[in-house]
Amino acid sequence: MLTGRNRAARSAMVALLVWPLVIGGADFVYRQALPGYHYQFPRDHFEHPAFRTEWWYYTGNVLDPTGRRFGFELVFFRVGERNGETNRSAWSVQDLYLAHTAVTDVAGRRFRYHERLNRSGPGIAGASFLKQRVWNGNWQVRWKGEDQTLDAVTDDFRLRLALHPVKPFVIHGENGVSQKAEGSGRASYYVSFPRLEATGEITLDGTARTVHGSAWMDHEWFTEELAPGEAGWDWFSIQLDNGTELMLYQLRHTDGSIDPYSSGTFVDRQGVAHHLRRGDFTLEPLERWGKYPIRWAIRVPPLGIQLNCNAVLNGQELRGRKGGPSYWEGAVTYSGTQHGVGYLEMTGYDARVQL
């Protein structure tokens, strides 16, 4: 999840890192995320052009045969730019596509990331149920049933990973929507595969390493989410060694308070999702790197869970290079009443700190 205050975006980076709080052009009205949505799978794993913003988010933690740990991220974004005009050119801008990919080399103390921006054009970028594919140039995810294959090539690393669901996907929120603020439509449709087995290769500086571990996949689509006064959020994916998972996020107001629509999901060993409200958990920052809290205390009293979240590397900030804000997203380790791994995302801080 990314955040910001709505402005007239001049690039997909800005359009994605600012939350769209207005709806489309004068002649085209995007749909809102409202309760009662009738989910249809596998169709809903793919594109939803009737909604303005959509993303497919892959993060994970893997080990090579020597036990060397890597975090990885591959994210595809779509932002609708429809205005009611009928332009049949392949180069017309109906949607903008942004993608991010990153690798955290824990032992090497290095964080590498890349981004790209495209229009769909004649097949340059897109998402397609018919093709069972989401892509941006030669970065892509291909689906076969619920198995997913990631492939991303950059100047200094490559990801080639096969993902297989260990548990079924879950739908977050209540009544089919993940509400983010007071008001009709300030919500998303939010689906996750909370535990995927990840196998394949990560190539760094020309050296390919066979890896194995776990991944998390998020897919959200919506038109408007955050309300004025909401500055950003802190989001946690948690895969515990006891076979359970947690997703938690808190929405921060500009005055520092936490929005009551902050929420989460607990996934039990059987794969059943249990909604968590704001009062069911606390997230307390303990240590900062620049403006970003990179160590947290997490408490979920109804579940008897107490965790410490620690970044495996402080400098996991993706700095906006196309005029957009920066945000922190990286691999973390959990300890406490349980142990595990996952990812932490922090937005709205827009800190510029030294690696």
> What whole-number distance in Å separates Cα of residue 96 and Cα of residue 276?
34
Q: Which of 245, 278, 276, 284 is nearest to 261 (CA)?
A: 278
Distance of CA 22 to the CA centre of its chain: 22
Whether the CB-CB separation of 112 and 103 falls below 8 Å is answered with: yes
Whether the CB-CB separation of 156 and 162 falls below 8 Å is answered with: no
Distance of CA 39 to the CA centre of its chain: 20
> What whole-number distance in Å separates Cα of residue 156 and Cα of residue 89?
35
pLDDT of residue 326: 85
* Helix, strand or coil, per DSSP, at residue 35: coil
pLDDT of residue 111: 98
**Topology of domain 12-346, per CATH?**
AttH-like fold (2.40.370)
Partnered with residue 350 across adjacent β-strands are none
Q: Which residue's entry shows tokens 């929507």? A: 177
Q: Which of 118, 169, 122 is nearest to 139 (CA)?
A: 118
pLDDT of residue 341: 98
For 125, phi then psi, to 5°, come to -150, 155
Each domain of the chain, given as residue ranges in start order, spans 12-346
pLDDT of residue 85: 57
pLDDT of residue 72: 98
Whether the CB-CB separation of 70 and 207 falls below 8 Å is answered with: no
Strand residue runs (E) in 207-312: 207-222, 230-240, 245-253, 263-267, 273-276, 282-289, 292-300, 305-311
* Helix, strand or coil, per DSSP, at residue 25: coil
Partnered with residue 284 across adjacent β-strands are 297
Give the residue ranges of the chain where pLDDT is below 50: 1-26, 323, 352-355
pLDDT in tens, 60-108: 999 999 999 999 999 999 998 766 555 565 556 578 899 999 999 999 9
pLDDT of residue 28: 76
Compute the mean pLDDT over every residue in the chain, rounded to the nearest whole number: 89
Global pTM value: 0.90
Q: Which of 68, 72, 116 is nearest to 96 (CA)?
A: 116
